[in-house]
Each structure stands twice: as structure tokens, then as C-alpha cells.
Amino acid sequence: MSAISIGQAAVLGVVEGVTEFLPISSTGHLKITEGLMGIPVDDKAVVAFSAVIQSGAIAAVLVYFFKDIVRICKAWFTGIANREERYHHDYKFGWWVIFATIPIVVVGLAAKPLIEGPLASLWVVAGSLIVGSGVMWAADQMGRHKRGEDDTTFKDAMLVGSSQILALLFPGFSRSGATMSTALILDLDRVAATRLSFFLGIPALTGAGLYELKDALGAGVDTAPLIVGTVVSFVVAYGSIAWLLKFVAKHSFNAFIVYRLVIGTLLFGLLGAGVIGA
């Protein structure tokens, strides 16, 4: 018997689609929503379900950035076959994405019991939302926003890619928040930081979704809720991506920082009052 109904799956799909690429923590919001709906956040089937519906949001990135992805892949394959093409930034960037994904894969596999157990607590989510807000604020203040996407280097990709580990271990920190903050500290402008966050998230989140699919099905999550949650997250995420890129071109991250502080504080209050379980 599935722990998640089709209606709940649709709600969680909306939450995933809205929050996956905003620096406010999709995992945190999913766990909060699950807690409010009485769904056990540390249940293996629920954890697996959350990972699988991320694939809908990732599919939205693939569609939205299709031309960019094709260009990068073409340059990468061309460079593999032709040494003279290896100076091209897109060829190098293709390798950087691969290498930058390795740290989170290693940590994800090694720390899986912790991620699905003690670290899945809503207390961790609340604390991570607040601490992550401080990191985002500091990064936005420190960054000089003087480097564009074409100025990214291997060092940038590795540091930004590795920062995803923070969100992996501490749900609520936000993968987008961690990667964007790191990129800002490295003096990338907000649009470049956001786009880099998107590209580096594709292999990590896709891999996590595929890896968890067997666990989701094996743990008792029905196929129908998985499909509904994934499709809804795709549709909503596509709109969220388009909005975010326009927003960061003209605004700072202050609105997200304030929102995270409010949600984190509210969550602490709800947990302390026993309104929702951890």
C-alpha cells in the first residue's frame, strides 16, 4: 500500500516544481508539506518518492536549456574526436560538469543511511533554512558580480559542484542556495551563478532520481502517484525556471533570504508546539 495518494502526489509535485530551483530548499519544503499532511518524512518510501519526482524538475531544465545542452554536448563529443577543438569553452565545461558531480555522488552513497535517517528530521530542515539564509546574505554581500558565464573556470565548477553536498546532508540548506552562494563568492554575477547552478544540478539530481526509483517502487509507492508527482513537478518547474532567470537579472537574493528566515522560524515554532512531528 502506498504511503502517498494521488492527490498528495499532485500537491508535492507543485511544491517540488516551485522550489527545486529557487534558493529556498525543495527538500525542506517537501518535508514540511509532508509533515503537514501527516506523511512520515523519514519513511524510506517517502524519501524515495521525493527524489524520484525531482526528475520532473530536471526534465524541465533539459527542455528549457535544450539548445545550450546540445551545444555543450556537441562541443564535448567533437573535442573528444578532434584535439584542435579542445580549446573551446563548451568542451571544457562538459568535462567540468562531469568532474564537479563526482564529490556529491561519493558523499551521497557513503552517507545514504544518515541522509535517509537522522538528517531527514524537520529540526534539521528548520536549522538549515536559517543557517543557509546567513550564508546567502554573506555571499550576496561579498560577491562583486563581475564575472559572466563565459568566465567560469574548472575551479569554479568544482567548488560550486561540491557545495551541493551541503544541501545533500542538511535538507533545508538548499542545493540552489548553496551553489548560487558559492558562485557569488567566486564573483560570478547572479545570472551566471543561477545558470551554473542549473547545469551542475542536472547530472546529480537525475542520478538521484534514477537511483531512488527502484527503492520507491520496492518500498511500496504506487506507480500512479510517482507519475502524477513527476509530471506536475515538470510543468511547474518550467515556469519557475523562466521566472527565476528574469528575477535574478534585476534583483538581489534578499527576498529569498527573508522568506527562508520566516519559514525556518515558523517551522521551529510548529515543531516546538507539537503541531507537526519531526
Q: Return the DSSP state at 57.
A: H
Radius of gyration of the chain (CA): 18
From residue 219, alpha-carbon distances to 45, 144, 193, 214, 256 in Å are: 5, 47, 37, 8, 35
- Give the 3-state secondary structure of residue 37: coil
Q: What cell was used for 121?
A: 528530521
Per-position pLDDT tens, the chain of length 278: 457 889 999 999 999 999 989 999 887 888 888 888 888 776 777 877 887 888 899 899 999 999 999 999 999 999 999 988 888 999 999 999 999 999 999 998 898 888 877 887 889 989 999 999 999 999 999 988 899 988 999 999 999 999 999 988 998 898 999 999 999 999 999 999 999 999 998 888 788 777 777 666 666 667 889 899 999 999 999 999 999 999 999 999 999 999 999 999 998 998 888 877 66
Element housing 201 (H / E): helix 190-218
Q: In terms of Cα–Cα distance, which of 37, 11, 54 is closest to 171?
A: 54
Q: How far apart are CA 234 and CA 5, in angstroms?
A: 19
Q: Residue 218: its pLDDT value, please?
A: 66
Whole-number Å distance between alpha carbons of 177 and 166: 10
The C-alpha cell that represents 224 in the structure block = 500512479
The reported pTM is 0.85
CA distances to 62, 92, 93 from 73, in Å: 12, 11, 9
* pLDDT at position 220: 64
Question: For the chain, how far is it from start to end, CA to CA, in angstroms?
Answer: 23
Q: What's phi and psi for 174, nearest 5 deg?
A: 90, 120
User: What is the C-alpha separation between 80 and 21, in angstroms, rounded?
Assistant: 31
For the beta carbon of residue 224, count every other beta carbon within 10 angstroms: 13
Return the C-alpha cell found at 68.
Answer: 545550450
Nearest to 42 by CA among 54, 30, 53, 25: 30
SS3 101: helix
Give the start-to-end residue ranges of the domains of the chain: 6-273
Looking at residue 85, what DSSP letter applies? G
- Calculate the CA dihedral of residues 21, 8, 260, 26 and round it to 10 degrees: -30
Q: Please report where in the chains the cell 561519493 appears, as a residue.
A: 106
